[in-house]
Amino acid sequence: MLAVSRGSVEPARFIVLEYNRKAGHNPLVFVGKGVTFDSGGISIKSGVGMDDMKRDMSGAAAVLGAMQAISSLKLPLYAVGLVPATENLLDGKAYKPGDILETLSGKTIEILNTDAEGRLILADALTYAARFKPVAVVDLATLTGACVTALGHHATGMMSTDDELANSVRAAGERTAERVWPLPLWDEDREQIRSDVADMKNTGGRPGGAITAAALLAEFAQGYPWVHLDIAGTAWTK
């Protein structure tokens, strides 16, 4: 997360929210991508549509909204919200393609594209989540344009390491008119992000881009049931 923030004058923030009305139980943890503006960094985006990149914090907004709703309704549960928040901008100090970053977990990531930054900050947050010994972790992120290409603006892409959790999330989506659609996580997808100089690289290229991004996150979502929601196509409407 700190590497992504290096190009900004604003320091990164890691926000932790806890709500506990069920003492003695393990929490449900929400993780939300909080990139408050994403220029793409040195791998700069096209100017077309860059104004929308103020919305790259939609996952964080969803987590903050969920925690507020849980608190307002005084629900009998233990919930934690984690928000890694930063900008991704250009600067002489910005991280670069070719860099190798060490994550909170100790695993290393080779940077091929600085515009694949959301998965980097989520990786650290997913590692941090393990300290709560959660019953489940749900992450939400405007993560990939590839998910928009696959599903348009009508469904959220869902990838998970736990079928029971994925089925519960999908059922909840059907009840609330928030469609989610499952995408696979295969061993071949994990192989696509393998690096010769680090534990993994931060992009597996264009083929299956939404899935390979989730495959990277799965490397850090260890020791608990986990579901990833790519809301790039559903986070907002124009």
Domain segments of the chain as ranges: 4-230
Q: What is the pLDDT along the chain (238 residues), one digit of tens a residue?
A: 999 999 999 999 999 999 999 988 999 999 999 999 999 999 999 989 899 999 999 999 999 999 999 999 999 999 999 999 999 999 999 999 999 999 999 999 999 999 999 999 999 999 999 999 999 999 999 999 999 999 999 999 999 999 999 999 999 999 999 999 999 999 999 999 999 999 999 999 999 999 999 999 999 999 999 999 999 999 998 7
Q: Which CATH class is domain 4-230?
A: alpha beta
Residue tagged active-site, from 6, 13, 21, 119: 119
Query: Among this protein's residues, is 133 annotated catalytic?
Result: no
Three-state SS for the chain is: CCCHHHHCCCCCEEEEEEEECCCCCCCEEEEECEEEEECCCCCCCCCCCHHHHHHCCHHHHHHHHHHHHHHHCCCCCEEEEEEEEEEECCCCCCCCCCCEEECCCCCEEECCCCCCCHHHHHHHHHHHHHHHCCCEEEEEECCCHHHHHHHCCCCEEEEECCHHHHHHHHHHHHHCCCCEEECCCCHHHHHCCCCCCCCEECCCCCCCHHHHHHHHHHCCCCCCCEEEEECCCCCCCC
Residue tagged active-site, from 13, 21, 33, 45: 45
Query: Among this protein's residues, is 45 annotated catalytic?
Result: yes
